[in-house]
Amino acid sequence: MTIRPATIADFDVIVELVEHFLAASIYAKILGPADRETLEKLVGAVMDTGVILLAEGCAGDVEGMLALAVFDHPVTGIPYADELAWWVEPHARGSLGPRLLAAGEAWVRERGLSGLKMVAPADSSVGRLYARRGYVEVETAYHKRFT
């Protein structure tokens, strides 16, 4: 398994992984359907401001991704990375997720960013993984859909 930064040549597989993420998560119910053009804009924006790390198997198939965007924190102005999407195909789950996270953390450190904000889906075990890696639970987000 190789973890590497995505390139423009990976665009279609990234959009496919994002579609898998949306289909398997509550986000599709909250946000509604995403069309390919919108997903392509999102992928392009993340690639411009941050990184999309891909986990590629021996046969060259992409089995997971971690998308990190860089922002200046709205309160402090200090740059940090914010996870926008983290997905591992169900057949590849196990150690792959933590390997992607470790690669993301290394990417953040190499750039001298102040930190990495990760999110955990409601009612998931992901928060426990974060806690084991030294993350601090900051807040719980709620969303109400109006349309």
Q: Look at residue 52 and give its three-state secondary structure.
A: strand
Cβ proximity of 73 and 113 under 8 Å: no
pTM of this prediction?
Answer: 0.90
pLDDT digits (tens, 9 = 90+) for 104-138: 999 999 999 999 999 988 778 888 899 999 999 99
pLDDT digits (tens, 9 = 90+) for 48-91: 999 999 999 878 889 999 999 999 999 999 999 999 999 999 88
pLDDT digits (tens, 9 = 90+) for 29-41: 787 777 888 888 8
CATH of domain 2-132: 3.40.630.30
* Annotated domain spans of the chain: 2-132
Q: What is the DSSP letter of 22?
A: H
